[in-house]
Structure 1
Amino acid sequence: MTIAEHPVSGYLEAGRGPASTSTRGLARAFAALDRGLCAAVETAAAGLVVIEIIILLAGVISRYVFRSPLVWSDELASILFLWLSMLGAVIALRRGEHMRMTGLMRYLGQRARAFFEVMATTAPLALLALILYPAFDYAIEERFIVTPALEISNAWRAAAIPTGLVLMTITATIGLARRHRAPLILAGIIATVGIVAAFWLAGPALQPLGRYNLIIFFVGMVGANVFAGVPIAFSFALATFGYLALTTTTPMMVIVGRLDEGMSHLILLAVPLFIFLGTLIEMTGMARAMIQFLASLLGHVRGGLSYVLIGAMYLVSGISGSKIADMAAISPVLLPEMQRRGAKPGDLVALLAATGAQTETIPPSIVLITIGSVTGISIAALFTGGLLPALVVGAALCVVVWRRYRHEDLSNVRRHSMREIAKLALPALPAILLPFVIRTSVVEGVATATEVSTIGIVYAALMGLLAYRQFPWRRLKPMLVETASLTGAIIFIVGSATAMAWGLTQSGFSQQLAQAMAAIPGGAYGFLAISIPAFVILGSVLEGIPAIVLFGPLLFPIAKQAGVHEVHYAMVVIFAMGIGLFSPPFGVGYYGACAISKISPDEGLKHIWGYVVALFVGLVIVAAVPWLSTGFLKF
């Protein structure tokens, strides 16, 4: 079951009867509007991906070759990135590629399932209706801000949010009207309006509940929406809007600002570029050449390509500063071949998500840099301390792979001779060198973590044209549109999660948690023991960077007083947050892995828990043995 088989707009035709002439005419009109809107949005989004590549590559060339940096390149790239993300979210909505959980729907009857599919569209429509006016307000307010480099009104950037929300509203409405009977649509609308009205009327009763509202909205409402099949991003945003609107006096324009903030981090621009790089590697034949070589080396070993996935994520991790981007660079290369060799899709996405948590401490990780910047810890020390713990956690994952694949049938797989391996190595060499080209470009200062993917794109394109002689130009636009769609689905989740994190901070939750943890007895190990579950939970709802910014300055001094080395504590905290970030049902990273691999979140649920246990075992070893994090700091 793929993600596309469960589109957000509920493309089920359950109960649809014979249509009248007027109904068919209306359907044709909706179809024409849908096609026209789709063509316009997809063309614009594909063009933005190309423009982003050109801008960042021009910045690299100008700075490194001509020693004359383009002061406006990052600013323009950031402005266009928000437009790309919002247009991509529109495409993802039409295609049904926004992440959602549909496991419970399997147990429902046809009519109930069709009703919940309608609700999966009417709930996002309710959010869009509630947030649209504040979004326009926000864009209008931003017109007074002038960008420093381009010296243009910031409204040009901020206008992407209301524009995207309007287009999503139109897209969802068209999909709803085209795919469902009017009575079912009416029932879904009535139910959604009724739920919104009930919460609104309950507002005066909710305000005195104080901290209990965190459970009502960020546990109860998010959980109910997620398990009812509402897309994850909209579930997060609905809970945040409800909490702020009903229990605080915060203007709703603020939630739009936090959404903007979460979607505008320049480091996230690496996501679409690495997604495109991954598809380019596949298109040019580089992926096939590398897979053939790796299969010749480890194909006769049970679970061989799973070990390759763990090792490949270790190699490329940290290049982009984004785990999603790292997975995007690896997934299109390895996962299709692993599926052809009989691996279960659910196990693949589970392992991919687990490796995302495993490699969080590989430099130059943006989380490590953030910890160093907010706590004053030496970033060089953090970079040194992160390598060995990641190997320990990776070894724990390898144990799970060995156990799961120890009975794999390899009767049809022959062992290659050294001569055959050497023959396959030559065409695979350009593909194998790509991670080293990218990493060297970052380490040597040729490009930033955001820009480096453009070097990879140019490298892959040249290898396709000159070395592999394979570059089907007709595939470029679909690849660019696919890149935009996945980017929109992923970045919209990140934006919603950032808004939710901000909502949590306004409750005073962070200060209370720090005070409670400081009172825990047991010295260093007692403090580590309470820190692990605390940061697993924080990682699932706040992600790494917001959690570190909020709690790092509070908890790292307490850890030092308890006798925990600051680098050691950083490794424990990062792995704990990684487990939360990449574990369902709330971990945003897990849904990012599903989006990258195009595998339904439901399929990974029964496979991921073994890997989560392995991650915990690895984390406990790292926490219990400080030398793993600090042993090489003196060298």
Structure 2
Amino acid sequence: MNIPSETTAVEELGAFTRHEPIAWLNRLDRIVGHIVEVPAALLVLAEVVILLMGVIWRYALHHPLVWSDELASILFVWLAMLGSVVALRRGEHMRMTAVVGMLSPRRRAFLDLIAIGAALAFAALILYPSVIFAEEEIWVTTPAMGIVNTWRASALPVGFALMILVGAIRLFRVGTVRDVAMALGAIVAVIAVCSLLEPLLRPLDNWNLLIFFVLGVGALVFLGVPIAFSFALATFGYLALTTSTPTLVVAGRMDEGMSHLILLAVPLFVLLGLLIEMTGMARAMVGFLASLLGHVRGGLSYVLIGAMYLVSGISGSKAADMAAVAPALFPEMRKRGAKPGDLVALLSATGAQTETIPPSLVLITIGSVTGVSIAALFTGGLLPAVVLALTLAALVWWRYRNEDLSGVRRASRGEIARAFVIAIPALALPFIIRAAVIEGVATATEVSTIGIAYTVLAGILIYRQFDWRRIYPMLVDTASLSGSILLIIGAATGMAWALTQSGFSSSLAELMKNMPGGIPVFLAVSIIAFIVLGSVLEGIPAIVLFGPLLFPIARAVGVHEVHYAMVVCLAMGIGLFAPPFGVGYYAACAISRIHPDEGMRPIVGYMIALFIGLVIVAAVPWISVGFL
């Protein structure tokens, strides 16, 4: 699931330098790849087995395994770090190349070296602090298993050390010694200049937030540095150069951000999405919807909107949702003349639209940090997504009102009936997932394992489409995509902590509390704030940071907490999928294998449609609370 621009730029670099990697360097890369990928794949498999055992022993055998969550949490940090290394080796970390793509091939390829070098630089800077952090964890033991916490925390220094090795190999495989020296020299020069400016930066107080988290992050992102490393470098620089906080705090905050057990749903739901695609279940669902709507103008776009609504209820992970739907639907849409940019734009828009559909990871996080009933959030989240789906459908109708369907045949009633029968096992999966959570069979994290077991059985026994040879590559792909997502969350958690310590978050909350205008103004400011936060901090860290501050204010001004949760969640979804900063957009591009630049223009209309739907949800509380 690579972002095409990086591979393209690598090829261009080889073209203008006439550089061929040394044979032994290629061999070393393959060896390191096996050393990292095999454990990462096994960790994904182990997490599935451990959590599924926990469900079976607790619900079926009535004998809970008290150590299952603890062991899963320990292995999860290792999975996140090794997955990040795999993603770095493959060039799959999310990055923005809209500005870089406008440059000449030589400059674009040189900035690719800068991007790799920046990742290597952060890994080198944080390596020693992460070692100290792991050593200090020796005083902490896990309650159930009695294991010294250093075993878990050691994932960070090991992962960063492997990133240095992998980054160095990539640099010299991509560029000549001269090009690599120039790129690293430029990075070292920037670090040296920043260090020399330390005496001038410290007296600036909160102006440093603008320098590091707006100008610094913005510059790194626009230069094509991966999002996670842009956040991490800015946070490290802010703490090291403007505060007296030890830099091992960065490692600690990243560890905290990546180790929440609830985030284990990310790799498991990503794997579930890949299995749904591989077993043909996604194709069965999409085929049924296409038989109903494929003959109308823009029909497959409506199918994409509906399929994302259904699949979102299965996975709860936007990356998994998109991975399940796009491969099954995009080939036919391309045959009908859909442009790649419009495809990825609509996929991103539907990702934002389905943020409130249970089991949404953001809704679960809101419930956990604010005390709002998760069952109420799940009930309230279904209808707001329908409202946004209708606004997207209205735009699709307008854009495709003149589509030529002369070569498209309408499905007969018999064909629709057959497609429905074939799709029944697939259509049942969202209801099984929701029922397992609501009835208390499994937690929101564990329920993915039930979905995985059901999908495997359905693929083998019903659809007879299960390629065992694809399991290992799928496990590695899951680790890579999950690692790139989790590293962003870890880096964003560190940045959120820095913002909290600076007093910015509490100042923002106080400002919003004292604004005149009552509920309408409060909701309007919240929408704007969370669109920005969703694009910069990503949903879960933003909620962890601002949820406990703002939800009490919402209650104080008279906003129902479930209504406010829907508004906040949808606003963050728009921010998450709106370029140029929204990392969800780049995930959609990576999964679709479409260049990010192609979707920049088409996505504007979809974002406007989503915003209109959000305003409707905010203005009509009944949409969120009418069925509670």
**Same fold per TM (> 0.5)?**
yes
**Are residues 1:90 and 2:72 paired?**
no
Secondary structure of the structure 2 residue equivalent to 1:413: coil
Q: 2:465 aligns with which of 443, 467, 470?
A: 470
**Are residues 1:286 and 2:281 paired?**
yes
Could you say which residue in structure 2 is the equivalent of 1:631?
A: 626
Q: 1:402 to 1:559 in 2, by over 3 A?
A: same
Q: 1:71 to 1:85 in 2, by over 3 A?
A: same
Q: 1:123 to 1:322 in 2, by over 3 A?
A: same
Q: 2:23 aligns with which of 11, 15, 28?
A: 28
Q: 1:255 to 1:119 in 2, by over 3 A?
A: same
Q: Report the residue type matching 1:150 in the other structure.
A: M
Q: Pick which of 63-72 and 303-312 moved more.
A: 303-312
**Are residues 1:205 and 2:200 paired?**
yes
> CA offsets, 1:575-619, max 9 Å, x none?
222222222222233333334444343333222221211121112
Rounded to whole Å, the distance in 2 between the matches of 1:283 and 1:373 is 33
Secondary structure of the structure 2 residue equivalent to 1:409: coil
Q: 1:348 aligns with which of 343, 348, 367?
A: 343
8 Å CA contact 1:285, 1:470 repeated in 2: yes
Quote the offset at 1:224 in angstroms.
0.9
Could you say which residue in structure 2 is the equivalent of 1:404?
A: 399
Could you say which residue in structure 1 is the equivalent of 2:3?
A: 3
Could you say which residue in structure 1 is the equivalent of 2:271?
A: 276
**Are residues 1:303 and 2:304 paired?**
no
8 Å CA contact 1:8, 1:231 repeated in 2: no
1:363-402 mapped onto 2 (5 Å cutoff): 363-402=358-397
Quote the offset at 1:320 in angstroms.
4.7
Q: Report the residue type matching 1:3 in the other structure.
A: I
Q: 1:346 to 1:96 in 2, by over 3 A?
A: same
> CA offsets, 1:522-551, max 9 Å, x none?
222222222221222222223333333433
Unaligned runs of 5+ in 1: none
> CA offsets, 1:366-409, max 9 Å, x none?
43444445445454544443333222122111112222222333
Q: 1:281 to 1:61 in 2, by over 3 A?
A: same
Quote the offset at 1:455 in angstroms.
1.8
Q: 2:530 aligns with which of 525, 535, 540?
A: 535
Rounded to whole Å, the distance in 2 between the matches of 1:542 and 1:8 is 28
Rounded to whole Å, the distance in 2 between the matches of 1:37 and 1:545 is 32
Could you say which residue in structure 1 is the equivalent of 2:123?
A: 128
8 Å CA contact 1:494, 1:588 repeated in 2: no
8 Å CA contact 1:352, 1:593 repeated in 2: yes
Rounded to whole Å, the distance in 1 between the matches of 2:426 and 2:448 is 14
Q: Report the residue type matching 1:510 in the other structure.
A: S
Could you say which residue in structure 1 is the equivalent of 2:36?
A: 41
Secondary structure of the structure 1 residue equivalent to 2:601: helix
Could you say which residue in structure 2 is the equivalent of 1:15?
A: 16
Q: Pick which of 605-614 and 380-389 moved more.
A: 380-389
Could you say which residue in structure 2 is the equivalent of 1:214?
A: 209
Q: Pick which of 441-450 and 85-94 moved more.
A: 441-450
> CA offsets, 1:442-478, max 9 Å, x none?
2222222212222222222222222222222222211
8 Å CA contact 1:4, 1:95 repeated in 2: no
Rounded to whole Å, the distance in 2 between the matches of 1:277 and 1:382 is 23
**Are residues 1:240 and 2:235 paired?**
yes
1:578-593 mapped onto 2 (5 Å cutoff): 578-593=573-588
8 Å CA contact 1:86, 1:488 repeated in 2: yes
Q: 1:340 to 1:45 in 2, by over 3 A?
A: farther
Rounded to whole Å, the distance in 1 between the matches of 2:406 and 2:610 is 32
**Are residues 1:194 and 2:189 paired?**
yes
Q: 2:606 aligns with which of 597, 608, 611?
A: 611
Secondary structure of the structure 2 residue equivalent to 1:419: helix
Secondary structure of the structure 1 residue equivalent to 2:167: helix
1:97-136 mapped onto 2 (5 Å cutoff): 97-136=92-131
Rounded to whole Å, the distance in 2 between the matches of 1:363 and 1:433 is 15
Secondary structure of the structure 1 residue equivalent to 2:99: helix
Q: 1:515 to 1:403 in 2, by over 3 A?
A: same
Could you say which residue in structure 2 is the equivalent of 1:157?
A: 152
Q: Pick which of 197-206 and 510-519 moved more.
A: 510-519
Q: Report the residue type matching 1:76 in the other structure.
A: L
Q: 1:78 to 1:333 in 2, by over 3 A?
A: farther
Q: Pick which of 177-186 and 302-311 moved more.
A: 302-311
Rounded to whole Å, the distance in 1 between the matches of 2:75 and 2:310 is 30
**Are residues 1:509 and 2:510 paired?**
no
8 Å CA contact 1:88, 1:488 repeated in 2: yes
Rounded to whole Å, the distance in 1 between the matches of 2:365 and 2:280 is 37
Q: 1:526 aligns with which of 521, 531, 538?
A: 521
Unaligned runs of 5+ in 2: none
Quote the offset at 1:291 in angstroms.
3.0
Rounded to whole Å, the distance in 1 between the matches of 2:545 and 2:173 is 45
Could you say which residue in structure 1 is the equivalent of 2:414?
A: 419
8 Å CA contact 2:2, 2:92 repeated in 1: no
Quote the offset at 1:481 in angstroms.
1.4
1:420-435 mapped onto 2 (5 Å cutoff): 420-435=415-430
Q: 2:139 aligns with which of 139, 144, 150?
A: 144
8 Å CA contact 2:4, 2:590 repeated in 1: no
Q: Pick which of 9-18 and 603-612 moved more.
A: 9-18
Q: 1:413 to 1:503 in 2, by over 3 A?
A: same
Q: Report the residue type matching 1:6 in the other structure.
A: E
Q: 1:111 to 1:316 in 2, by over 3 A?
A: closer
Q: Report the residue type matching 1:45 in the other structure.
A: A
Q: Report the residue type matching 1:86 in the other structure.
A: M
> CA offsets, 1:13-36, max 9 Å, x none?
1433488xxxx8xx1221121111
Q: Pick which of 387-396 and 57-66 moved more.
A: 387-396
Rounded to whole Å, the distance in 2 between the matches of 1:8 and 1:236 is 25
- Give percent identity, aligned residues only: 66
Q: 1:559 aligns with which of 533, 546, 554?
A: 554
Structure 1 vs Structure 2 CA RMSD: 2.4
Q: 1:139 to 1:376 in 2, by over 3 A?
A: closer
**Are residues 1:439 and 2:417 paired?**
no
Q: Pick which of 568-577 and 96-105 moved more.
A: 568-577
> CA offsets, 1:108-128, max 9 Å, x none?
223322321211111111111
TM-score for both structures, normalised by structure 1: 0.93
Q: 1:10 to 1:261 in 2, by over 3 A?
A: farther
Rounded to whole Å, the distance in 2 between the matches of 1:368 and 1:5 is 33
Q: 1:313 to 1:284 in 2, by over 3 A?
A: closer
Q: Pick which of 572-581 and 94-103 moved more.
A: 572-581
Rounded to whole Å, the distance in 2 between the matches of 1:549 and 1:489 is 20
Count of equivalent residues: 627
